[in-house]
């Protein structure tokens, strides 16, 4: 079973806001990074389930509409699950949380302290954590510290989540991109908090960096907390799977340590739905009763 727990869709790059659109064009170069639902579906054929992330930041004038995500997921309920974009400081946060809890398409929410301008332990956000903990909603923390010039990198530090996770031990959370660029902080947190996971999305586009990160996670016995993610449209699911299995190529001809292949396979084939306690009514993993 393969679960891609980090993918994006949008109707046009303008939905990422001015800063996000500019970043996208720098990343894409001359390539056309189509991220409409049809392109997403075509790029995810090799996985069993894909997480589709919504996003909303009032500060960045960016919104991947929750309605867009929900309608797409509703068409392929056994293949897709959605995460609703919620800006905890926006006036409609309560309504968006209610939608995430009520609509079958959603299993949780996406937030970004850096892009939305809040400290993770901000008292104004405690209600979101309590709501998600009580309702069993997954919280995906998107880093986003580099997309916009006014994003607050100091709020993207993974260690800031330690206080939150101590206060809400039942909260199921995924730190995206393994907390890049502070991957060591994330690895330490993974060992400490039972319900915290991290995805490897975007790391796979940088083989040397990905190799070093995986070695550190393996040495600290934290690879069982890593979830596979492609970061579509920047990589397809098949490209990402191949990149994981080719990770040790950078060690060929050297005495550098390799990450055991069984560890790499466990990351690719990890059932993120089960890890995150998701009971999705339209999906049954192989062997489930």
Give the tens place of pLDDT for each residue, 132-169: 999 999 999 998 766 777 889 999 999 999 999 999 99
- 65 to 10, 76, 130: CA distances (angstroms): 8, 18, 24
pLDDT of residue 283 exceeding 70, the answer is no
pLDDT > 70: percent of the chain = 93
More confident residue, 23 or 8: 8
Comparing 24-28, 57-61, 63-67, 201-205, the range with the smallest average pLDDT is 24-28
pLDDT of residue 286 exceeding 50, the answer is no
Looking at the DSSP assignment, which residues form a beta bridge with residue 139? 109, 173
Q: Nearest 5 degrees, angle CA 12-CA 137-CA 6?
A: 40
Cβ pair 8, 39 in contact under 8 A = no
Protein fold of 3-275: TIM Barrel (3.20.20)
Closest CA to 53 of 38, 32, 68, 33: 68
**What pLDDT was estimated at residue 20?**
72
pLDDT > 90: percent of the chain = 85
Tell me, yes or no, if the pTM score tops 0.75: yes
State the pairing for strand pair 106-111/173-175: unpaired
pLDDT band at 112 (very low <50, low <70, confident <90, very high): very high
More confident residue, 32 or 228: 228
pLDDT of residue 189 exceeding 90, the answer is yes
- 47 to 5, 80, 147, 178, 205: CA distances (angstroms): 10, 10, 28, 21, 19
Mean pLDDT, residues 34-49: 96
**What pLDDT was estimated at residue 143?**
85
pLDDT band at 1 (very low <50, low <70, confident <90, very high): very high
Between CA 199 and CA 220 the distance in angstroms is 16
**What pLDDT was estimated at residue 38?**
97
**What pLDDT was estimated at residue 144?**
74
203-227 tens-digit pLDDT = 999 999 999 999 999 999 999 999 9
Between CA 280 and CA 273 the distance in angstroms is 8
**What pLDDT was estimated at residue 26?**
72
**Mean pLDDT, the chain, as a whole number?**
93
């Amino acid at each position: 079973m393969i679960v891609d727990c980090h993918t994006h869709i949008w109707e046009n790059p303008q939905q990422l806001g001015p800063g996000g659109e500019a970043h996208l064009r720098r990343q894409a170069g001359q390539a056309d990074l189509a991220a409409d639902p049809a392109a997403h579906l075509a790029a995810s054929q090799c996985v069993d389930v894909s997480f589709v992330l919504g996003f909303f930041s009032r500060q960045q004038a960016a919104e991947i509409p929750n309605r867009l995500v929900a309608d797409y997921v509703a068409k392929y309920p056994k293949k897709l699950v959605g995460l609703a974009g919620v800006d905890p400081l926006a006036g409609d946060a309560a309504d968006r949380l209610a939608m995430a809890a009520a609509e079958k398409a959603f299993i949780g929410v996406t937030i970004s302290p850096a892009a939305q301008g809040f400290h993770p332990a901000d008292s104004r956000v405690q209600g979101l954590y309590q709501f998600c903990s009580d309702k069993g909603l997954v919280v995906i923390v998107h880093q986003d510290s580099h997309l916009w010039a006014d994003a607050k990198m100091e709020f993207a530090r993974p260690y800031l989540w330690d206080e939150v996770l101590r206060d809400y031990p039942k909260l199921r959370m995924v730190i995206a991109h393994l907390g890049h660029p502070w991957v060591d902080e994330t690895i330490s947190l993974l060992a400490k908090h039972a319900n915290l996971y991290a995805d490897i999305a975007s790391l796979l586009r940088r083989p040397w960096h990905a190799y070093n990160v995986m070695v550190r996670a393996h040495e600290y016995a934290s690879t069982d907390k890593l979830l596979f993610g492609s970061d579509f449209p920047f990589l397809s699911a098949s490209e990402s799977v191949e990149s994981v299995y080719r990770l040790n190529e950078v060690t060929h001809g050297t005495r550098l340590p390799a990450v055991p292949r069984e560890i790499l396979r466990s990351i690719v084939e990890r059932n993120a739905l089960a890890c995150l306690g998701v009971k999705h009514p339209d999906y049954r993993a192989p062997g489930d009763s």
